[in-house]
Chain A
Amino acid sequence: MDVRSQISMLFHLDKCIGCHTCSIACKNIWTDRKGAEYMWWNNVETKPGTGYPTKWEDQNIYKGGWEKNGAKKISLKGSGKIKGLTNIFHNPNLPVIDDYYEPWTYKYLNLIESPKQDDQPTARPVSLITGEPIDIKSGPNWDDDLSGTPDYARKDPNLKNLSPAEQEAMFQLEKMAFFYLPRICNHCLNPACVASCPSGAIYKRGEDGVVLINQKVCRAWRMCVTACPYKKSYFNWSTGKSEKCILCYPRIEAGLAPACMHSCVGRIRYLGVLLYDADRIKDVAAADENSLIDSQLNIILDPFDEEVIKAAKANGVADSTIHAAQYSPVYKFVKTWGIGLPLHPEFRTLPMLFYVPPMLPVMASISDAKNKEQKEKLDPISKIWDDDWLYDTSTEELWGTIEQARFPLQYMANLFSAGDAEKIKQVMKKLMAVRIHRRSETVGDIDSDKTQTTLSEAGITSEMANDIFHLTALAKFDERFVIPPAHRELAMDMLENTGDVKGSSGFGFKEKPQRGI
């Protein structure tokens, strides 16, 4: 048992309101620079939708992640030692700027410096790459809130094993539903970007599992961009270096939550330590498709287990880190309650960012209704409204609604459980049971027998339901972010004399990040 600690994240999707505050916070701190304009280390996608870059989940196009070949063998899909080095002069699967969007700004000066004329002056959009005027064809979140559905949402790769009828149902105007999927780097346990980097610039920090790119070693071989199935490694076209989310490690080391999490309006984000067994990563990554999730969750160890604590200490995990692991909100969601699932586990990178799947679009169902009477009352224009359905939000027969949800469970399964709808259903049942339990507690219009049945069917106790409710709805800052001390007193590089670098370049980066000649 090789116990290591990993800072991991949990996003509660039911709480996400799609405000993009996280993206802006991240952009302001890290990527508001030349060459990084198009980078969104944190982005929020509308699902169903094609995401960013367009269709990133379609690995037939981008060849990201690992693929299983053989009983206990996996290999990188689009890179690796042989493929990576033969493709080094021209990476055949690299996403290009047009798969994202061409960054632009406006010539605002035109508005105030324009001479007197008959027409209104306009601020023409100009490309941030070439400086020439461009026609804006797309931008980040071009498909936000299902805009451009025929082009974007309908081409969502997650629709793949849904029947045509199911797909059609999702896009009927009256039945349409969507939710938001905020994404940052998953800081995977089996990162494809690290494995694909020919120069060895990308590495996982042993102490907290943050995956970083050493900017001085990166040589622009571009393999990480292909290899990351989540497309969270971005190529800076100006400096010729790849960049990615750094989980705000300078903030984490200082005990602060990452900027995206700190600024989250919906408070959907949780951050905490998980202890895991590094010896088993290989087996888990090569597990069968249907046991992928279970085995991934299995290598996360119980931080209260004496054996685990002993092994962790022997392995150099600090006491404070073990303590933080015991209070980790992520551990509670993922292991204790079992309602957190990784995004696209089938890419086999063992992502360490978990999601609580959203209930909202599932809750209501569509039921057949011959609402002739209703129609009579409508004014003539609306009489062309000829559907026989009812948007039903009643709480009767709740289990039924999950199965007949207007948002197919299979779609959720394609996102969060490698296509296993049963897994999603279990999580949904738990979430539903919490709501029923809380309703019977606070409103009291559901009798306790029924509440008990639903709770036991979902496999949770009423205490658990209360805990879930508490951490979901009432949690304070310190409960959402349990950040272990970074022990910088042990990191010797931090002992450099601050006076030496004062006024010249500051900590860490002694050299201006400038494009080479």
Chain B
Amino acid sequence: MDLLNNFLFIALPYVALTVFLVGTIYRYRGTKFKFSSLSSEFLERRKLFWGSVPFHWGIIILFFGHLIGFLFPKDVLAWNSEPVRLLILETSAFIFGISAFIGLFNLLLRRRTNSRIRAVTSWMDLIIEVIILVQIFIGLWIAFGYPWGSSWFAAVLSPYLTSIFTLNPQIDAISVLPLVIKLHISLAFLIVLLIPFSRLVHLLVPPLSYLWRPYQKVIWYWNRKRIRNPKSVWNITEPKNN
């Protein structure tokens, strides 16, 4: 049991984080062309709506919920000090969880039943979708079976995650947690591990810079004014877009 706990909560996280870091950097530098969300809306759009929309909004809100619980546990606990607020937080997280689950279930169903989508499906797509589906299901199970997760996550798991990132892993607490919670944590690291090997890389390149860039984009291959000025020094500059 000790060995398994050490493996799941110390070895796996570090392996996962290392592989994630090295893998994504390598993939970004080496095969940037393959960084894509690989949208299949072009081939099928009707069923996609009830899959992609509930899944993505649900999973994004859940992801940031977990992240906030990890980074600002004190504030989460302060928010939860009022039972009504705790209930609102837990219920809305549960709703988005169900939404993400139904969405991903629809996506998986669409991926299996639509022949056009099947043509652009890789094994990894299926693996990753099944793992995330199981992960969301376990998450819902935990939310239902072990309330109030938002509080005990902040109190128990946040220190664990912090200890992982400060290279001093403390696993006493989580090694005695119920099995489903352990599974949830391990699957989370497994997903992190799989990011560089799957289409999940697209979540690393959200197009947020769009919000503050000007609409139009013109790229010059060389500094046009400088190059015509005989007094300026000739220097070699690579165009920035490639």
User: Within the complex, are A and B direct neighbours (CB within 8 Å)?
Assistant: yes
Q: Give the B-binding residues of A (Cβ under 8 A).
A: 76, 80-81, 84-85, 88-91, 94-97, 129-132, 190-191, 194-195, 197-200, 202-207, 214-222, 225, 235, 237-241, 313-318, 490-493, 495, 508, 511-517
Cα distance A317–B220 when bound, in Å? 12
B26-34, B81-89, B151-159, B177-185: which one contacts chain A?
A: B26-34
Interface residues on B, range: 35 or more
**Given A96-B41, A490-B221, A490-B222, A198-B207 contact (CB < 8 Å):** yes
CB<8 Å pairs between A and B, sample of 12: A84-B210, A89-B57, A96-B43, A200-B209, A204-B216, A205-B218, A219-B37, A235-B39, A237-B43, A239-B33, A241-B36, A317-B224
Determine whether B44 belongs to the interface, using a CB cutoff of 8 Å to chain A.
yes
Q: Nearest-CB distance from B118 to chain A (Å)?
A: 7
A-side contacts of B25, CB under 8 Å: none
**Given A195-B215, A221-B207, A206-B37 contact (CB < 8 Å):** no
Asked whether A200 lies within 8 Å of B222 as measured between CB atoms, the reply is: no
Cα distance A258–B102 when bound, in Å? 50
B-side contacts of A94, CB under 8 Å: 41-42, 45
Determine whether B14 belongs to the interface, using a CB cutoff of 8 Å to chain A.
no
Determine whether B49 belongs to the interface, using a CB cutoff of 8 Å to chain A.
yes
From B34, B56, B197, residue with most partner A Cβ within 10 Å? B34
Cα distance A200–B214 when bound, in Å? 10
**Quick one: which of B34, B228, B238 contacts A493, CB cutoff 8 A?**
B238
Asked whether A517 lies within 8 Å of B199 as measured between CB atoms, the reply is: yes
Cα distance A345–B169 when bound, in Å? 64
Determine whether B35 belongs to the interface, using a CB cutoff of 8 Å to chain A.
yes
Asked whether B39 lies within 8 Å of A81 as measured between CB atoms, the reply is: no
B-side contacts of A318, CB under 8 Å: 228
Q: Nearest-CB distance from B102 to chain A (Å)?
A: 14
Cα distance A90–B45 when bound, in Å? 8
Determine whether B202 belongs to the interface, using a CB cutoff of 8 Å to chain A.
yes
Cα distance A316–B57 when bound, in Å? 47
B-side contacts of A214, CB under 8 Å: 241-242
B91-99, B119-127, B130-138, B141-149: which one contacts chain A?
A: B119-127
A-side contacts of B197, CB under 8 Å: 517
Asked whether A492 lies within 8 Å of B48 as measured between CB atoms, the reply is: no
**Given A97-B43, A204-B219, A517-B210 contact (CB < 8 Å):** no
Asked whether B228 lies within 8 Å of A316 as measured between CB atoms, the reply is: yes
From A191, A205, A225, residue with most partner B Cβ within 10 Å? A205
Determine whether B217 belongs to the interface, using a CB cutoff of 8 Å to chain A.
yes
B-side contacts of A240, CB under 8 Å: 36-39
B-side contacts of A313, CB under 8 Å: 228
Cα distance A517–B53 when bound, in Å? 22
Q: 16 more A-B contacts (CB under 8 A) besides A220-B202, A318-B228, A508-B242?
A: A94-B42, A96-B43, A96-B44, A130-B118, A200-B209, A203-B241, A205-B218, A219-B36, A220-B39, A221-B39, A237-B42, A241-B36, A313-B228, A315-B225, A316-B225, A490-B222
**Given A219-B205, A516-B199, A315-B224 contact (CB < 8 Å):** yes
**Given A90-B53, A129-B43, A206-B224, A492-B34 contact (CB < 8 Å):** no
Q: Nearest-CB distance from A223 to chain B (Å)?
A: 9
Cα distance A202–B37 when bound, in Å? 17
Asked whether B242 lies within 8 Å of A194 as measured between CB atoms, the reply is: no
Nearest opposing residue in chain B for A496, CB measure: B238
A-side contacts of B33, CB under 8 Å: 215-216, 239, 241, 511-514, 516
Cα distance A235–B38 when bound, in Å? 10
A-side contacts of B227, CB under 8 Å: 316, 490
Q: Nearest-CB distance from A365 to chain B (Å)?
A: 45
Minimum-distance CB pairs A-B, first 9 = A316-B224, A198-B207, A516-B34, A206-B220, A195-B215, A240-B38, A240-B36, A89-B56, A198-B210
Q: Nearest-CB distance from A197 to chain B (Å)?
A: 8
Q: Give the A-binding residues of B (Cβ under 8 A).
A: 30-45, 48-49, 52-53, 55-57, 115-116, 118-120, 122, 124, 197-199, 201-202, 205, 207, 209-211, 213, 215-228, 236-239, 241-242
Q: Nearest-CB distance from B199 to chain A (Å)?
A: 6
B-side contacts of A200, CB under 8 Å: 207, 209-210, 213, 217
Asked whether A222 lies within 8 Å of B207 as measured between CB atoms, the reply is: no
**Quick one: which of A91, A219, A237, A508 contacts B202, CB cutoff 8 A?**
A219
Asked whether B210 lies within 8 Å of A516 as measured between CB atoms, the reply is: no
**Quick one: which of A130, A207, A493 contacts B220, CB cutoff 8 A?**
A207
**Given A222-B39, A237-B43, A493-B239, A205-B207 contact (CB < 8 Å):** no
Asked whether B198 lies within 8 Å of A90 as measured between CB atoms, the reply is: no
Asked whether B49 lies within 8 Å of A90 as measured between CB atoms, the reply is: yes
Cα distance A239–B241 when bound, in Å? 20
Q: Nearest-CB distance from B212 to chain A (Å)?
A: 9
Q: Nearest-CB distance from B227 to chain A (Å)?
A: 6
Q: Nearest-CB distance from A272 to chain B (Å)?
A: 20
Asked whether A90 lies within 8 Å of B217 as measured between CB atoms, the reply is: no
B-side contacts of A97, CB under 8 Å: 42-43, 116
Q: Nearest-CB distance from A222 to chain B (Å)?
A: 6
**Given A90-B53, A96-B41, A216-B32, A206-B199 contact (CB < 8 Å):** no
B-side contacts of A314, CB under 8 Å: 225, 228
From A235, A237, A315, A492, residue with most partner B Cβ within 10 Å? A237
Q: Nearest-CB distance from B78 to chain A (Å)?
A: 31
Q: Nearest-CB distance from A452 to chain B (Å)?
A: 47
**Given A195-B216, A198-B207, A515-B34 contact (CB < 8 Å):** yes
Asked whether A90 lies within 8 Å of B221 as measured between CB atoms, the reply is: no
Cα distance A513–B224 when bound, in Å? 31
A-side contacts of B57, CB under 8 Å: 89
Cα distance A131–B116 when bound, in Å? 9
Cα distance A495–B219 when bound, in Å? 19
Q: Nearest-CB distance from A232 to chain B (Å)?
A: 15
Asked whether B45 lies within 8 Å of A96 as measured between CB atoms, the reply is: yes
A-side contacts of B36, CB under 8 Å: 218-220, 239-241, 516
A-side contacts of B202, CB under 8 Å: 219-220
Cα distance A222–B37 when bound, in Å? 10
**Quick one: which of A204, A225, A493 contacts B217, CB cutoff 8 A?**
A204
Asked whether B38 lies within 8 Å of A492 as measured between CB atoms, the reply is: no
Q: Nearest-CB distance from B160 to chain A (Å)?
A: 31
Cα distance A488–B196 when bound, in Å? 37
**Given A96-B42, A96-B44, A130-B115 contact (CB < 8 Å):** yes
Cα distance A458–B55 when bound, in Å? 63
Asked whether A130 lies within 8 Å of B124 as measured between CB atoms, the reply is: no
B-side contacts of A238, CB under 8 Å: 120
Nearest opposing residue in chain A for B214, CB measure: A195
**Quick one: which of B37, B116, B220, B241 contacts A221, CB cutoff 8 A?**
B37
A-side contacts of B37, CB under 8 Å: 219-221, 240
